[in-house]
Chain A
Amino acid sequence: MNPALKNTLLFCFVGFLLLITGILQGWNSALFILNMGLVSSILALGVNLQWGFAGLFNIGVMGFVALGGLATVLVGMPPVGEAWSAGALQVFAGLALGAGTVVGAVVIRKKLVGRARTFGTLAILVIGFFVFRAVFDAGVVAIEAVDPALTGNLGGINIFGPHRDANDMLLPDYFILLAWPMGGLLAAGAAWIIGKTALGLRSDYLAIATLGIAEIIIAVMKNEDWLARGVKNVNGLPRPVPYEVTLQSDPGFIARAASWGLDPVTASTIYTKLCYTVLFAAVLLILLWLAQKALNSPWGRMMRAIRDNETAAEAMGKDVTARHLQIFILGSAICGIAGAMMTTLDGQLTPTSYQPLRFTFLIWVMVIVGGSGNNFGSVLGGLLIWWLWVQVEPMGLWVMNLLTSGLADGSALKDHMIESAAHMRLLTMGVVLLLVLRFSPRGLIPER
């Protein structure tokens, strides 16, 4: 079969899956899966950029997604005025001191030699650490004391929101859209620091280093309550799309819904989801276009050369370190954007929910199943694997029911099997994954 046709068919297949979902489980479900699928595709695109293009084994995706999530709070939430006056200054001074310490240590390391260097660096680090803790901790305590059950953090920069209509119903707040590029920037900044230090590492060593850094980012987000309430979560993030309840109370909308033959609840939920779909699809298409353009340019060729053989690429005048850094930052920024989009969709930031299985490994599965090195593969993988991730739950139950249908009701084995149905979810996922990779080991849409 000709590849273009095959690829089109594959995308049609995913569309078909969504269609079936819509018919069998309702359009809300289908649209919701599509929306998260779009975000997943963006994530996969980012990982593919790093792995497929440049061979960088980044399994710290979760960290960048989380930074994107953090951005939604920092941008979308209104500032907590009291907290700002209580300790913001001290916290920022502390952070500046901390950064200064690190910079100082680096400078000293460059300047001095031998013993003096070791001791000088150590001395700066130790003294700096304690000064930093002294200043910083006091500020943190002050901020976190401000109504800890509800805020206890600095909040964000959204001085405009929240917007409400005359009936006190929430209106969309487009300011939150700013969080998406901000999430990208935040992730890019982190990627820059990580890249500067760790990109010299090879394959699995880089992998575990990035994984570690992701864990560190999550640890900070969980424990620095002044930033985004830590494990206490931030609820009620603004949305860039209309609220269902607001729509449901809007007579104009009800009338329009009626004219489509829909009840207001269904109409409003679908309408809201469609708004997200449009936004997400737009972001995805832009990024996909950029990635495609890049891949098929001399730049892409250079990246593939670097991936194939760094030594030779270096000898052919390509600055491997700089290119690696560049693509690491780009890929991470994309993950950051996707992270912000995801949190926007959830409407809340939940640091405990960032688990490597879900936010790193699942994304890798998407990239590999889709076909690493191929942007369309990543998009396909993102949509397909996400669909599976959601649908294996009912599938697992269905399989179990099928298996036990022959057994007598109330038999111990049957009960045990039905009870285990939830775990069939992961099992089904594994089986499907193995089957896909069995029949197309290079992914569904392989690199040319």
Chain B
Amino acid sequence: EDVKIGVILGFTGPLESITPAMGAGAEMAMAEVTASGALLDGSTVTSVRGDSTCIDAGAATAAAERLVTSDAVNAIMGADCSGVTGAILQNVARANGVVMISPSATSPGLSSAEDDGLFFRTAPSDARQGVIITEILQSRGVEQVALTYTNNDYGKGLADAFQAAFEAAGGSVTISAAHEDGKADYSAEVGALASAGGEVLVVAGYVDQGGSGIVRSSLDSGAFDTFYFPDGMVGTKLNDNFGAELNGSYGAYPGTDSAGAAKFVELAEAAGFDGTGAFAPESYDAAALIMLAMQAAGSSNSADFKDHVFDVANAPGVEIFPGELAKGLELIAAGTDIDYVGASAVELIGPGESAGNYQEIEFADGVYSTIGYR
């Protein structure tokens, strides 16, 4: 059998610079499985790409529709932006009963969407991260921060969650200012942030979007010199763009002290793409979960394997890391329970979203490195 997995990401549009690595991540998992020949008695897995455009629900739905009805994909890895993800879920995935695992849609709204058990995400929830950020800041004795977020459901959700958690813990947020991605200039935002002041600037944005623009502008004007970087901001891009200018800044992104994350970066390097790109690990994991669940259900039919996603993702079982998909498939075939850890330490909770384990990073000598796990 040739199993098809749709990869629907915004290959054009505002996220076009991170989606290539995400797509490559997912496809790496598929290639790995195909090579192993262990899935469902030697099935191959092919990826069918679709462009979600990130912003155009109509075009995204049309692309998904084509993938599902014309290419007959067995599952969807995607979409990226929460808006189009919701549209595809409601209009295509549910209607056709196709499983959909998003690597990057973090909107809390999606948690409560009716999904007939078809929708999962490997991205952790914003609420969880808000608590993590608060803990890290407090452990460093920071009491007053300025906050800026990218003006979409991810940024806004995270900012709200963080502000609530931080203030509940006694900290104060001097200003919570939105920034739009892909705009020409961020002096206005930085001006307002600087004026409000704070020990640290929390940048809830994307590293190769407005987030970097804000950091650049803040550094240049001397507005802030210490930053906190949530998941969307952590990437090697930071080292390239800013280097030593960020010494002393810190942050956290999903990951465990398991070897998974590092392994993934290695694999990605071998495959020729940037494994540290935002949501690339989550994409790998999303694709992997789909295939593992298929194996567990013994069927590539969404209706069958949708109930197995939780089983393969969560403990108990043998831990499976990136590059070990073959092992996972064989174990399942042998009837052994597995606990897929993967590149982003997936642990599904509640309505099918990642519980979120985080690794804390800090900049020194122009590069960031992991200093602990939470």
Contacts and interface: CB of A to CB of B under 8 A. Distances in A.
Answer whether A and B touch in the complex at a CB cut-off of 8 Å: yes
Interface of A: 24-29, 32-33, 36, 148-150, 170, 222-223, 229-236, 244-245, 248, 265, 268-269, 272, 342, 345-348, 350, 352-353, 355, 358, 389-390, 393-394, 397, 419, 422-423, 425-426
Contacts, number: 144
A229 B107 CA distance: 12
A235 B86 contact: yes
B69 A232 contact: no
Given A149-B127, A149-B157, A244 B95 contact: yes
A33 B160 contact: no
B124 to A, nearest CB: 15
B139 interface: no
A426 B10 CA distance: 13
Interface string B90-120: 1100111100000000011110111010000
Contact of A29 (B49, B70, B94, B114): B70
24 contacts: A25-B70, A28-B69, A32-B65, A36-B58, A149-B109, A223-B178, A233-B107, A235-B109, A235-B112, A244-B94, A265-B95, A269-B96, A342-B58, A345-B58, A346-B61, A348-B87, A350-B84, A352-B55, A352-B153, A389-B59, A390-B59, A393-B50, A422-B16, A422-B51
A272 B113 CA distance: 20
A149 B164 CA distance: 11
A351 to B, nearest CB: 8
A353 B57 contact: yes
Nearest to B94: A245
A230 B153 CA distance: 8
B69 A26 contact: yes
Contact of A348 (B68, B90, B97): B90
Given A25-B66, A231-B156, A358-B56, A348 B86 contact: yes
B215 to A, nearest CB: 21
B63 interface: yes
B248 to A, nearest CB: 31
Nearest first, the 5 closest Cβ-Cβ pairs linking A and B are A422-B11, A350-B83, A26-B69, A25-B70, A244-B95
A236 B114 contact: yes
Contacts of B178: 223
Contact of B12 (A170, A390, A426): A426
B151 A352 contact: yes
A393 B70 contact: no
A346 B95 contact: no
A17 to B, nearest CB: 14
A346 B20 CA distance: 26
Nearest to A268: B95
Given A29-B62, A352-B151, A390-B62, A346 B91 contact: yes
Contacts of A422: 11-12, 16, 49, 51
Q: Taking chain B's interface residues, is the majority helix, strand, or loop, or is none over half, making it mixed?
A: helix
Given A29-B70, A352-B83, 14 more contacts: A28-B96, A36-B58, A149-B160, A150-B112, A223-B178, A232-B109, A235-B109, A244-B94, A248-B97, A348-B90, A352-B152, A353-B84, A423-B12, A426-B12
A388 to B, nearest CB: 11
B82 interface: yes
Nearest to B157: A232
A234 B70 CA distance: 29
A36 B107 CA distance: 26
A272 B55 contact: no
A7 B11 CA distance: 36
B86 to A, nearest CB: 5
B300 to A, nearest CB: 16
Contacts of A419: 20
Contacts of A26: 65-66, 69-70
B51 A346 contact: no
Interface string B64-91: 0110111000000000011110110011
Nearest to A419: B20
A161 to B, nearest CB: 14
Contacts of B16: 422-423
The CB with the most chain A CB atoms within 10 A, among B16, B97, B108, B161, is that of B97
Contacts of B160: 148-149
Contacts of B69: 25-29, 269
A426 to B, nearest CB: 6
Contacts of B156: 230-232
Contacts of B153: 231-233, 352
Interface string B147-159: 0000111011100
B51 to A, nearest CB: 5
A350 B59 contact: no
A276 to B, nearest CB: 10
Given A26-B70, A29-B66, A346 B12 contact: no
Given A25-B66, A422-B51, A222 B151 contact: yes
Q: In the complex, which of the residues B66, B70, B97, B161 has the most CB atoms of chain A within 10 Å of its own CB atom?
A: B66
Contacts of A29: 62, 65-66, 69-70
A350 B95 contact: no
Contacts of A229: 109
